[in-house]
Amino acid sequence: MKLSTIAFTMAHAALAGSAMSLIFEIDPILLGGLFAILTAFIMGPFSDYLRIPLDSASMTLFSIYNALTFIFLMMAPGPTLASEKVGQILWGSVLAITPTYLLILFTLTSIYVSILYVFWGRICSILFDPKLAEAEGVNVKRYTYLLTALAGIVIVFTLRITGGFLVFSLLFIPSASSLQISESLKKQILTSSIIGAMASIFGVSLSFSFNLPVGSCIVIGAAAIFLAAALLSALFRRRIVEAIPLEQR
């Protein structure tokens, strides 16, 4: 819950950062990443010191970032809102998928998986009960920063394909669907990656065949899987209940 709030805000920070990079005509990844990671680091203290709930802090930042995005887009040189570059930042583009890009994504994934593998026990401990983990001597802050920084980097790279408006959906829907169908955390991580991959394949092929924006297609694919997962788990639960003899209910 808390992590998804942070990811949501980071995604929009990345969008604002990329929009700003249009003004200076530099690679959107640089400023997008900077914005996203800075957000991850300031959000906690921001809500702590001002004593506002994390949700409110997140919504405030989200609004600020959206406003900034449009200001930056207007300030960008060239014909406003018409250029291909603006479109790429807002809606994403298949053209972003280059061999270098795939290589970077692959490297990132390997880093993420190895971090999860090496620190699995302590990360579980933090996810289960951060205060108790802290009481047992785990450096909760360090791990949280590490994970959010990595999430920020992943968000910025995903941004290129899905565009700024949909990046959060691609992160959120697969994990929400995996919660519907799997019990343990390991299975949840695995199924959500598989769902994400399936949605992406579906979305990219849909986008190629009908010439539609790729990000939207991926998200619609993911949402379809989410509905299917929800239906499936509802059906299964009902069947489990039916399997229990009447007198034991």
Partner 1 sequence: MSYAVEMREVSAYYFGEKKPAIIDVTLTIPINSLTLIVGPNGAGKTTLLETILGLLEPRRGNIRVLGHDIPREAAKIRKLCSYLPQDFMKPPGEPFSVKDVVAMGIASNREFGKLGNEDWKLVEEALTMLGIAELADRPIGRLSGGQQQKVMLARALVRKPKLLLLDEPFSALDEDSRRFISTSLLPKLIDSGCTVIMVSHDASFTPPRCDLTIRMEEGRIVGVVSHDLRSST
Task: List residues near partner 1 by CB under 8 A.
Answer: 48, 51, 117-122, 124-125, 128-129, 131-139, 183-185, 188
Taking the complex as a whole, how short is the minimal distance between the CB of residue 193 and partner 1, in angstroms?
16
3-state DSSP assignment of residue 94 = helix
Length of the chain as a residue count: 249
Q: Which is nearer to partner 1, 34 or 116 (CB)?
A: 116
CA-nearest of 21, 23, 48 to 35 is 21
Q: Which is nearer to partner 1, 75 or 234 (CB)?
A: 234
Cα–Cα distances (Å) from 154 to 14, 38, 171, in that order, read 11, 14, 10
Tokens of 90: 């807002």
Q: Which is nearer to partner 1, 59 or 134 (CB)?
A: 134
Taking the complex as a whole, how short is the minimal distance between the CB of residue 52 and partner 1, in angstroms?
12
Taking the complex as a whole, how short is the minimal distance between the CB of residue 236 and partner 1, in angstroms?
16
- Among the residues of 50-98, which ranges form H helices? 54-75, 84-91
Taking the complex as a whole, how short is the minimal distance between the CB of residue 213 and partner 1, in angstroms?
35
Tokens of 172: 């959120």
Q: Which residues of 34-63 are buried (b: 16+ CB within 10 A; e: fewer)?
A: bbbbebbeebbebbeeeeeebeebbeebbe
Phi-psi region of 46 (alpha: psi -120 to 50; beta: other; left: phi over 0): alpha
Taking the complex as a whole, how short is the minimal distance between the CB of residue 127 and partner 1, in angstroms?
8
